[in-house]
Copies of this chain bind each other. A is one copy, B any other.
Amino acid sequence: MAHLTASVEYGIHCLLWLVAKDGKPISCSDLAELQGVSPSFLAKIFPKLEKAGIVRASEGVRGGYLLAQPADEISFLNIVDAIEGKKPLFDCQEIRGRCALFGGQSPVWVSAGTCAIHAVMLQAEQAMRERLASQSLGSVHRRFIRKAPEDFVSEVAGWIEGRLKGRDSKARKLTRDAPS
């Protein structure tokens, strides 16, 4: 198992589709079908992204989620923290104060400053966080798009438009059939 959960992977993939959709909302169920993943799993990730101000919800038949900020201003660190909740690399339990020689009352010098082990872990965590902060959703999207054939983005847009049209006609039918 990895340190970061699969929710981070699914979340970032979804956000890349929102960049591609260029300001138009996509529903959670369309994102799930488009990527072949569980809709209920995605439905747990989006409220976290919304709470962190990364996406916002749009209501209505053509509603769904859209980015709440420009893609170049959303870093990988923002996304990881939104989904994983600023999980630290290391949780220092201050074992240094428990030495049997202190008889339950550790002297002041023991807990002065950050524990030397914790300090190393904090540096390693900082290095990781800086690297995640240096990469934006926008830059990774551009890297992906450079690799894809020219018509891929329009094909995906067409697929989503097809789903929306299906939903439009279903909504019209419901309005027509509603008891007056």
Number of copies: 2
Q: Cβ of A98 < 8 Å from any Cβ of B?
A: yes
Q: Mark A112-143, 1 if CB is under 8 A from B, else 0.
A: 11001100110111111111100100001001
* A interface residues, tally (CB under 8 Å): 57
Known interface pairs A3-B89, A33-B100, A89-B3; A127-B130 also in contact (CB < 8 Å): yes
Q: Cβ of A95 < 8 Å from any Cβ of B?
A: yes
Q: Cβ of A174 < 8 Å from any Cβ of B?
A: no
Contact, CB under 8 Å: B155 / A140: no
Instruction: Return chain B residues, CB-CB under 8 Å to A37.
Output: 95, 98
A89 to B101, CA, bound (A): 38
Instruction: Return chain B residues, CB-CB under 8 Å to A99.
Output: 34-36, 156
Contact, CB under 8 Å: A140 / B127: no
Q: Mark A133-171, 1 if CB is under 8 A from B, else 0.
A: 001000010011001110000011001000000000000
